[in-house]
Amino acid sequence: MLPLTRHGWREMLVGTVVLAGVAAALAWVTPWLALVVLPVWVWLIAFFRDPDRPLPADPHAIVSPADGRVSDITQLDNDPLLDGPAVRVGIFLSVFNVHINRAPCDGKVLSVTYRKGKFVNAMRHGPASEENESNTIVLGDAATGRPVAVVKQIVGLIARRIVCTVREGDVVQRGQRIGMIKFGSRTELCLPQRLSPRITVQIGQTVHGAADTVAVVQPEQSR
């Protein structure tokens, strides 16, 4: 049975009722026309799928926070949330991808910041990242409190709702579900250069949340 996220029950229920009504109307005209809505219903249900994922064996592997396509990899001179230089990996989620967001590493939630904004195309970094509605989650080392990763959930042209299931002070594990973005979006992952992140993905590559490694870091205590 296809595992589904609880965050989609409302949309699935409303969508099923609406599509059933459309199918009934079409069937009244010509019975076989009712089948036209079936692919739409299957897509709606599949959109909210929430598969379990195996984690990489390497404990220093940073996993992808989302399913999708790597759209950009950018070196940042300074990320104020990470206290210095960082690298950002942008992932675009189409309407056919799993939309569950995952924690890229173990850590403690230092802050969660929601920002209202626009709904422009989220395929590339630029206006979407800076102007769109977003939710930024900062993860820190549970022992030292220093920030180790930033996950930014960004709505897109179609996406209109961000779900975040963690709060400041929560302790999360790598690969743990931390929310979702509904109906197409962008997720960004930023890592501090002080951890010497070695990016293991390329622009255009397809990644799967929790299962795929996007970077390997060098823990501060081992350097």
What pLDDT digit, counting tens, does each position of 9-48 carry? 999 999 999 999 999 999 898 888 889 999 999 999 999 9
Identity at 35, one-letter amino acid code: L
Residue 95 and residue 83: Cα distance in Å, rounded?
Answer: 34
Which range is least confidently modeled, 16-30, 42-56, 86-100, 111-125?
Answer: 111-125
Structural domain of 126? 61-213
3-state secondary structure of 32: helix
Instruction: Clarify whether residues 76 and 38 are in a common domain.
Output: no
Strands (E) in 4-83, as ranges, are 61-63, 68-79
Instruction: Clarify whether residues 37 and 66 are in a common domain.
Output: no
Report the DSSP beta bridge partners of residue 185. Answer: 93, 155
Q: Is 185 a catalytic residue?
A: yes
Which one from 94, 111, 185, 222 is the annotated catalytic residue?
A: 185
Identity at 49, one-letter amino acid code: R
Would 197 be classed as within a structural domain? yes
Number of domains in the chain: 2
Give the distance from CA 50 to its chain's centroid.
12
Instruction: Clarify whether residues 138 and 78 are in a common domain.
Output: yes
Residue 130 and residue 133: Cα distance in Å, rounded?
Answer: 9
Work out whether the CA dihedral 153, 155, 159, 163 comes out positive or negative. Answer: positive
Instruction: Clarify whether residues 124 and 186 are in a common domain.
Output: yes
Would 223 be classed as within a structural domain? no
Say which CATH number the domain at 190 has.
2.70.70
Would 220 be classed as within a structural domain? no
Phi then psi dihedrals of residue 188, to 5 deg: -115, 140
Residue 217 and residue 223: Cα distance in Å, rounded?
Answer: 11
3-state secondary structure of 98: coil
How does DSSP classify residue 7? G
Q: How confident is the model at residue 222 (pLDDT cuts 50, 70, 90)?
A: very low
pLDDT tens digits, residue range 192-216? 999 999 999 999 999 999 999 999 9
Instruction: Clarify whether residues 10 and 119 are in a common domain.
Output: no
pLDDT score for 188: 96
Q: Are 119 and 160 in contact (CB under 8 A)?
A: yes
3-state secondary structure of 79: strand
What is the value of pTM for the model shown? 0.89
Instruction: Clarify whether residues 94 and 156 are in a common domain.
Output: yes
Taking phi over 0 as left and psi of -120 to 50 as alpha, with beta for the rest, 163 belongs to beta
Instruction: Clarify whether residues 41 and 66 are in a common domain.
Output: no
pLDDT tens digits, residue range 186-196? 999 999 999 99
